[in-house]
Structure formats: structure tokens, C-alpha cells
Amino acid sequence: MIVVRGKRTGQIDAPALAGLVAPYDGVTVDVGTGDGAFAYHYARAHSRRFVIGLDPVRENMREYSARAARKPERGGLPNVLYAVASIEQVPAELHGIAGELYVNLPWGSLMRGIILGEAAVLDGLASLGREGAVLRAVVNTRIFDDPVPVEARDLPEPTPGYVRGTLVPLYARRGLRIEQARLFDADELRALGTTWTKRLSHRRPPPSVYVEATVGG
């Protein structure tokens, strides 16, 4: 598996990853981590969890992966790692590793897969989680405000009703049981601490829909 630490990239195999994870109570994977801010802050706030930020664009993760690699007194964190991969091609080292999965304001193929219930994306998410793992996804519905970005023009708006009526059976077929679908208010969005949520959290009505699912359902 390819990992990034600032401007440097390297490889980590399954035994080495197991050794990193072993001292902690569980693993959280931030899928589509972007710049890695959420993974970094979550790891800092939850010192007993090992957090993995996953994204196909290694350059996006340079700043926070470099920060995590520093000495603790300079902001370094031993419980966060940044891996380079897409959700459609999850590294074997990560199969079944997570007890928690987060997808925060996805974009590109990850966003399409979440909204349309595409098999390749859902299979990737399910492959990351252990039996009973919780997936928490927050999808930005502001992208459906006029003017709608090109990437979203042919997508249905993911309202809670759409999730319950359309996505529940699609997710269930891929081993993900949707337990909850609701609007996500500005205070909740702000609390996520991602770069994008800081830009969106002041806007009302609620700009996002929250979906929670269980792996193995």
C-alpha cells in the first residue's frame, strides 16, 4: 500500500500496518480525505483510535501528512496515516480493518457512487469495514443550487426521502444497511472540522444530508 508523508511516498505492507494499529482500540478510515484535515483532527481528538486518511490524489495530503510526521511537540501524531488509493481499488491491506468509516462532502466518482448507489463504490466501502462497522456519510446538497456544477447536473438530489426510497435497497445489496437518513445542520457541519465544512457551515437551510449505515447488514 502506498502511503504519503509530506513530499515523500513509501510502501507499507500488512504486517507493518498491523503493528501500527495494534496498540489502539480501533481503526477509523476517512474515505476521500482530500487535504487530510478531518483525519488529522479526528486522530488528535481520539487518541485511542488509529485513523487512516484515504485519497487517490497524494498531493492533496502533503500538508497534513507532513504535520502528522513531526515530533509530538510540533503537532506530530502517531495515530494517523495517509494512504494513496481510490475507493474503487481499496488496497488489500485495508480490507476489513475499520470499525468506523467517514465520507465527508465527497466529490467526483466517490460522490456519484454514494448518491447513485454504484456497486464499485459501495463494495469498496464495505470492504474496508469489519462486521458491524459504522459508515457515516455527509453529502453536500448545496451543489444542487443554481448554477449546478457540471459534475452534478445528471445526479438526483440526495434528500432523506431519496435515500430511504432509492438507496436503502441498493446499499443493502452491497452489504450496507442504512440505519438513518436526515438533514445535517450547520452546527453539526462545522463540528466536522474539514476545510470544506468551514466554508459551508454558515449557510442555511441545512446544506447537507447525513446517511448512516452498518457494514454487514
Q: What does the chain come to in residues?
A: 217
Amino acid 92 reads: A
Average the pLDDT over 90-119 and give the result.
95
Complete domains list, the chain, with CATH: 95-215 (3.40.50.150)
The C-alpha cell at 91 is 488496497
- For 173-188, write each residue's pLDDT tens digit: 999 999 999 988 777 7
Q: Report pTM.
A: 0.90
Nearest one of 205, 207, 180 to 192, comparing CA atoms: 207
Contact 213, 187 (CB under 8 A): no
Contact criterion met (CB below 8 Å) for 76 and 53: no
> For the segment 6-54, what is each residue's pLDDT rounded down to a tens digit?
889 999 999 999 999 999 999 999 999 999 999 999 999 999 999 999 9
* 212 Cβ contact list (under 8 Å, min separation 6): 134, 135, 136, 137, 178, 179, 180, 181
